[in-house]
């Protein structure tokens, strides 16, 4: 018994004639008759009786057709399922962000993606970079979005989305507010709010001040960009943070100035190396890229030097 034989039998049952079945299958009438004869030989009973040139199903043929229809219904369901999966109409994407990306951007990105893909479920988590690296590497998330790179690149695949430069943030009305850019020398003796000592960003920022032989007052540390922004807003000091990926987090009580020399920061997509990137994940990263390009193009001059790269290699 072959699939071709079953298709021919089903076509005759549905159309009621060998002529119409042959047209449906794009073969000749003798070919359909021959296929049906072979099927009857293989199963051991007659499927049709020819009465006045009309093909009348036998009782055995009708019973067999019921089983055939159940099988074809299952095949049709599988076909529709495959089409839905291939078109990304079903499934789930699990995405994890670092806090530095900003809650508004995260919410807006998910809103945009869900409008475009209402049938796809989304799991969202926000974790510090080291925890993010661990969760992506162990395949618990499909994609991570981070502003820092993992030190162990063996278990994580990295694709750069954008690159921007660090900025200096000052309390409103600070003595340096009139300057267009801020250098390490400008911050000599300032109360400076740093990232924690184990932070990659902290090490890169400190390296510039060591190179410039500039001393700051280092008495306050914080883990996240949002906390540092709040402390600067309260007048506790100044700071240098990565590119302002989410300007809505910077209140009117904080002023932003480009920092020179430039300290570049990447915005990257991170994927587990041991897990193939799904069609849904690719669609999600495209949606994120489209949103961020639109978002940054409408922001202020502090992101003019933001550099974009292709999201899909």
Q: pLDDT of the chain along its 313 residues, tens only?
A: 788 888 888 888 888 888 888 888 889 989 988 998 988 888 888 888 887 777 888 888 888 888 887 777 666 665 666 665 555 556 789 999 987 777 777 888 899 889 988 888 899 998 888 889 999 999 999 999 988 777 777 889 988 877 778 889 999 999 999 999 999 999 999 999 999 988 878 999 999 999 999 999 999 999 888 889 899 999 999 999 887 655 555 667 889 898 999 888 778 899 998 888 888 888 888 888 888 777 666 554 444 444 555 433 3
Report the helix count and the strand count for the chain, using DSSP H and E: 9, 13
β-partners of residue 156 are 272
Give the architecture-level CATH label for domain 91-164+265-308. Answer: 3-Layer(aba) Sandwich (3.40)
* Two domains, one topology: 3-86 and 91-164+265-308: no
The domain ranges of the chain are 3-86, 91-164+265-308, 167-261
Give the architecture-level CATH label for domain 3-86. Answer: Orthogonal Bundle (1.10)
Give the architecture-level CATH label for domain 167-261. Answer: 3-Layer(aba) Sandwich (3.40)
């Amino acid at each position: 018994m072959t699939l071709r034989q079953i298709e021919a039998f089903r076509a005759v049952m549905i159309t009621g004639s060998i002529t119409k079945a042959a047209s449906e299958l794009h073969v000749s009438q003798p070919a359909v008759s021959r296929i049906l004869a072979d099927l009857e030989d293989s199963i051991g009973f007659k499927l049709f009786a020819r009465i006045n040139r009309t093909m009348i199903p036998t009782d055995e043929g009708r019973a067999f057709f019921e089983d055939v229809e159940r099988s074809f219904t299952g095949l049709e369901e599988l076909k529709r399922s495959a089409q839905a999966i291939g078109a990304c109409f079903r499934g789930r994407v699990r995405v994890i962000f670092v806090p530095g990306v900003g809650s508004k951007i995260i919410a807006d990105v998910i809103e945009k993606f869900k409008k475009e893909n209402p049938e796809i479920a989304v799991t969202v988590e926000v974790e510090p970079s080291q925890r993010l690296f661990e969760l992506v590497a162990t395949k618990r998330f499909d994609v991570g979005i981070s502003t820092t790179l993992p030190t162990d690149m063996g278990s994580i695949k990295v694709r750069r989305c954008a690159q921007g430069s660090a900025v200096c943030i000052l309390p409103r009305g600070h003595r340096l507010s009139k300057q267009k850019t801020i250098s390490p020398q400008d911050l000599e003796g300032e109360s400076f709010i740093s990232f924690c000592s184990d932070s990659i960003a902290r090490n890169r920022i400190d390296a510039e001040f060591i190179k410039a032989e500039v001393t700051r007052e280092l008495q306050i540390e914080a883990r996240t960009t949002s906390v540092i922004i709040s402390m600067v807003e309260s007048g506790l000091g100044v700071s240098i943070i990565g590119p302002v990926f989410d300007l809505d987090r910077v209140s009117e009580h904080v002023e932003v100035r480009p920092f020179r020399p430039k300290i570049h920061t990447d915005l990257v997509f991170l994927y587990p190396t041991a897990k193939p990137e799904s069609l849904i994940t690719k669609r999600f990263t495209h949606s994120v890229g489209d949103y961020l390009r639109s978002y940054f193009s409408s922001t202020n001059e502090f992101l003019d030097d933001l550099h974009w790269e292709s999201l899909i290699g």
